[in-house]
Chains A and B, each alone.
Chain A
Amino acid sequence: MMPPAGYLTISVALFCIGLYGLVQRRSLIAMLIALELMLAAASLNVVALTTLAAGAADGGGARQIGAGHASSVGQVVALILIGVAAAEAAIALSLFVAIQRYASTINVEDLSELKG
């Protein structure tokens, strides 16, 4: 069983990779993929921290995932987050289609009409 710090480290790594991709990539779709990575990092964080909190509440007795009541709450939240991510991807992709039709591009550097 990995200690929670390992989960958190992976989560931070995922978040940073996602952020880097979000800022660096110029294609909207690539940015969406990077954003999904960041969401996954957040979900992993939630699951890891609820497990840690459940372990602390049981006085260190219940270390196994799924053994405590609190850790199952984290897993439910993670599932909801995956659903939210799916919905978000659907909305974002349909927006990208609309943008593609309007501007004939999904390169964000070309989509800079709203400047001061």
Chain B
Amino acid sequence: MTGPTLAALLAQAAPLAAGVIVLLGLRGRGRAAAGVAIAGLAVSVAASVWLVAAVAIPDRSLLAQTVFLPVDASHALAFGVLLDPLSTVMALVVATITLAVMVYSTGYMRGDPGFARYYGFLALFGWAMQGLVLSANLLQTLVFWELVGLASFLLIGFWFDRPAPAAAARKAFLMTRVGDVGFLLGVLLLIRALGLATIPDVIAAAGAGGGLSPRLVTVTAALLLMGVIGKSAQGPLFTWLPDAMEGPTPVSALLHSATMVAAGVYLVARLHPLFLAAPAVMHALLYLALATALATATMAMVASDIKRVLAYSTISQLGYMLMALAAGSRAAGFFHLTTHAGFKALLFLSAGIFIHHAHSNEMREINERGALAQRAGVIGLVAGSAALAGIIPFSGYFSKEAILGALGVAAGGWVVALAYLGAGLTAYYTFRMVFLTLVPDARTHGRTDAPTHGAADAPTLGGNGGERAMNWTVQVLAALTLVLGYLGPWLGARLSPGEAEHGPFAIGLGAATALALVAAGIGLAWYEFGRRGAARIGFAERIPALARFFGDNWYLDRLYRATVIRWASALSRAARWNDQRIVDGATDGLANGAVGGGRLLALVQNGYVQAYLAVVVTLIAVLAAVLSRIGGVR
């Protein structure tokens, strides 16, 4: 084994070992658990850094695999690691954000009774995500994909003794599972057609002159895309993500914004040539992602819970990434994934600081309880929002610019126009959040110590302690938002070599338009929420019907309840009836019949020995009479 392969194995093994040790041996010892988990992830980060240095910087591509499962005489499924700039950079992003969240959580989760369990789950998630990123085989990817889903389930439902997180965990698990059925079918179809699922071979087979027919490629791409839609919360399957915010805030930062939900985007980037070979699917994805990005932006405009705003913005930004990929630019999509991981983790962790102190997710309540006193949180929230809105020179600006540029090259006029509109909406809802959270409301100012109401995020927390770890993490991530934006050309050269270069400061007409729209969005937000004496009610909230529509996930959950869930419930009720009446009825009837027959026959056994004797004698007499009649036994 070569050095990079060993490093890739180490990057996966360290979090796994940490997770197993914590969950099996250190359940009752929080500090030791946190130490072991952080050490495991630190090893993983170090290995990932080494991988980036050894693989991504020289722009190499390595495939190391070992035969695991023979399909038939000539084919076999080989499991291993696939190392190239895409996977190693993603591995570094995942490991870094996981480590940052773990360090942050030493403060945020302090005093929670499940502290050690929390770290065990986080380490397991780190392992699953690294395995997903580095896997060389689609079947292997699927295995880790499901493990990531399991970690998500466990972490959303971390406070499982409360009904809302338990329900949210179940919803997330089931909804992503809908998409995963497609993923599984797609992988099986590929294995049936090719006899293997190794990613480079699949890509080669999907290309021109490969072993796959265009129709099969289209079907496979569409099926795989189902998994992407579920995991990356797109299209009709996104409503699990806002509910997933019931989990602890650092979990939202890690899984439900920065890394796990990006797995779908990563998969599309990983198999980009396969998807490009199915232009119809890519077209559909472009429109789906655009619709999702715009729809969730409107939902973010009316949400009053800071984590829900961030959740909707995550879905929206994932839509942007998928749009870039669908338009054919792997570099732009992945670039935005990288910068987004940084600034969205930052935003959630800053929000976590406020929630930690205000004991509420509601932006207005956070504001009333003195949000401005949390310096690190303010810095983080402003820097992250600037990046999310796409203000130059924060990282989000560069990556969003790259996406809009790629769309301008590849997509039609109105798609681009809507994408620009979405950028303006992003700026509006982002700064609505900033103003609502940070700018003191003139009308309620001076009213201190508001009574506690609303959903407190973590009732077990004391509100004090652990600030150092939290503030430190947030400040490091805030600094990163100023740096990550300059990665674009470096990534572009490695991921899409032939593509037109989007220089960091190449302000053309497109960039100017985007900046103008962003400025307009921020201006509107300032007018409605930020300025002295503002009404602090957005234009969408003024129309009750619209506010309800946007605030209720566009009634999608109601639609699901009225259709799919109802049908499924009816089906399961019918199945239950069948089970209880028909299947159980048959066996119960048999058993009852046997028991009843036994009872009836038992009456013969009356316990009087002379009665038995009489029966015996009578029967022998009858037998003798019959035998003498027919002439004996023959």
Contact = CB atoms under 8 A, between A and B. Distances in A.
B601 interface: yes
Interface stretch (A55-63, A90-98, A106-114): A106-114
Nearest to B608: A112
Interface string B597-634: 00001111111111001100100000000000000000
A16 to B, nearest CB: 11
Given A19-B617, A23-B617, A112 B610 contact: no
A114 B602 CA distance: 11
A115 B613 contact: no
A114 B610 CA distance: 13
Contacts, number: 31
Contacts of B602: 115-116
B617 A114 contact: no
B605 A111 contact: no
B611 to A, nearest CB: 9
A22 B613 contact: yes
Contact of B607 (A19, A23, A31, A113): A113
Nearest to A25: B610
B603 A108 contact: no
Interface residue tally on B, bucketed by range: 10 to 19
Contacts of B603: 116
Contacts of B617: 19, 23
Interface residues of A, number: 13
Contact of B605 (A19, A26, A115): A115
Given A116-B601, A116-B602, A108 B614 contact: no
Contacts of B607: 111-115
A113 B607 CA distance: 6
Interface string A22-53: 11001000010000000000000000000000
A111 B606 CA distance: 11
Interface string B575-605: 0000000000000000000000000011111
B73 to A, nearest CB: 65
A17 to B, nearest CB: 14
B608 A109 contact: yes
Contacts of A111: 607, 609
A39 B79 CA distance: 87
Given A19-B617, A23-B617, A115 B610 contact: no
Given A108-B608, A113-B607, A23 B601 contact: no
Contacts of B610: 22-23, 26, 31, 108
20 contacts: A19-B617, A22-B610, A22-B613, A23-B614, A23-B617, A26-B610, A31-B610, A108-B610, A111-B607, A111-B609, A112-B606, A112-B607, A112-B608, A113-B607, A114-B605, A115-B602, A115-B606, A115-B607, A116-B604, A116-B605
Given A22-B610, A116-B603, 4 more contacts: A23-B614, A31-B610, A112-B606, A115-B606
